[in-house]
Chains A and B, each alone.
Chain A
Amino acid sequence: MNSNTLLSARAISLQYDQRQVLQNISLDINERQIVTLIGPNGAGKTSLVKIVLGLARPTAGSIERRKGIRVGYMPQRLHVDQSMPVSVNKFLNLAANARPERIDSALDEVGAGSLKNSQLHSLSGGELQRVLLARALIQDPQLLVLDEPAQGVDVNGQAELYRLIADIRDRHGCGILLVSHDLHLVMSATDEVICLNQHVCCHGHPEQVSNDPAYLELFGKKDAETLAVYTHHHNHSHDLAGEVISSDDADKPSGSGHHH
């Protein structure tokens, strides 16, 4: 393992119920590197995240983490039963290694300082995601694992959230594993993309991947188009069935980018 490598997975496979969930997956996460995992539903993203976090064991392959590594984890979503009264402050206090000054600085960093005494129930989707991110930051993580951080956040908020994530990487120098299917928003803030569908379809720099035939096949040209809209234009696109559709439809911004 390299000296700035935080985590290294080699030839990971996972079988569940005689079904191949993950096949021969290798990935490295280095300091200051944002690795994004994309792939359709059922591609095994969540399973891979669980293995990375040490919550599940692969059937084959090995995973090596830097000794004593501090991991911050932001789960896909938090569902708090209405019957449970919890303030943001209490929620953050439950984190391992929680200290008042750490809680304050984490909240400030994600721009949620004013929410400290709010009840978790009263938060909007975007506010809740920020609070979850703050909870992960309390660990002063060397590795941040963010599972679909922009879920339930509106489009403007999403762009802001991804900027915040890039900022956090710059400030803390941590490595980040990001799971997403908001392709077009994630790409700009990513160093390495891994396109997953049980196996690694393709990987590399965002631009490289977005032109990779395996990637185009997996997501259809239309998603690829939404992503590529920042750099170039096609005069047509494909719908889910692969049919050519007119560029008028294909150019419709966001919303059409989600097939899952």
Chain B
Amino acid sequence: MLGFILNALLAGLMVAAIAGPLGCFVVWRRMSYFGDTLAHSALFGIALGLLLEINLELAVIMACTVLAVVLVLMDNRRGLSTDTILGILAHSSLALGLVIISFTDNQVNLLSYLFGDLLTVSTLNLAWIGIATFIVMVLLFQNWNKLLAMTLHEELAQVEGINTKAMRLLLMLLIALIVAVSMKVVGILLITSLLIIPPACARTFARTPEAMALIASAVGCLAVCGGIASSWFWDTPTGPSIVVMASLLFVIGRLSGPGERA
């Protein structure tokens, strides 16, 4: 009884803790639609995983990674805006995923992928999430200043010896990895909110990038605890409850925070 709640809590906290700092870059670099696109392609990964009968986590990570690399390579595209390309990739991969799933014999509970199924997190799921968050944390920490420098001014960073192309790819891969493993927590349709809302809430209180990252982590963890509690007491769906909690914290933060953010 307590076991599955503990698993859920651990999984949620790990994801939220790392989604905070990573999400800051998503907010600073205006990549939220990119996060959405990755999330949609995760369903394509699920479909492939079912079809080829391989581990679903691995399939999703692979699908997201391939998409991230494709996007970096398509950087020099002509004629279409990034916005449009993301839109095409997001919805065609989602649709393709749904079509492929209809061919498999599996009785798949689509809702659990779309909106998360935190309370059924297994120990194996937990291991995947743990490994992924650890990798993301180490790489993010190691490259933090380089990523900041690139975010502030790409060419200036390049002149000072930072390989900005590699950094861009790294950031996309890290987001892909987190998106892939947090599917269990809040589901495909809500993953981006975990990357966006806590940093947005933290912005009101932060005067340094690091403070913003830490506060975002804390807000995310609080939202996870609140969401699971609400699910426990009122039997609400866990993933959406977490997002509702985060949104509530955002509103409270806006209303109570310092009005002038100089």
Contacts and interface: CB of A to CB of B under 8 A. Distances in A.
B153 A84 contact: no
A241 interface: no
| Residue from A80, A90, A119, A122 with most neighbouring chain B CB atoms (10 Å) | A90
A94 B161 contact: no
Contacts, number: 64
A90 B159 contact: no
B211 A83 contact: no
B149 to A, nearest CB: 4
A53 B153 CA distance: 15
Contacts of A84: 28, 151-152, 209, 212
A68 interface: no
B189 interface: no
B156 interface: yes
A85 B30 CA distance: 15
A interface, how many residues as a size bin? 20 to 34
B159 A55 contact: yes
Interface stretch (B4-12, B13-21, B128-136, B199-207): B199-207
A55 B158 contact: yes
A128 B29 CA distance: 20
A55 B163 CA distance: 11
Interface string A147-187: 00000000000000000000000000000000000000000
Given A54-B159, A78-B153, A91-B152, 19 more contacts: A50-B155, A55-B158, A55-B159, A73-B160, A75-B155, A80-B152, A81-B29, A81-B30, A83-B203, A84-B152, A84-B212, A85-B209, A85-B211, A94-B148, A94-B152, A119-B207, A122-B262, A135-B156, A139-B160
22 contacts: A54-B159, A71-B159, A73-B155, A73-B156, A73-B159, A78-B153, A78-B156, A81-B28, A81-B29, A83-B199, A83-B203, A84-B28, A84-B209, A85-B207, A85-B211, A85-B212, A87-B208, A94-B145, A94-B149, A96-B160, A119-B207, A121-B262
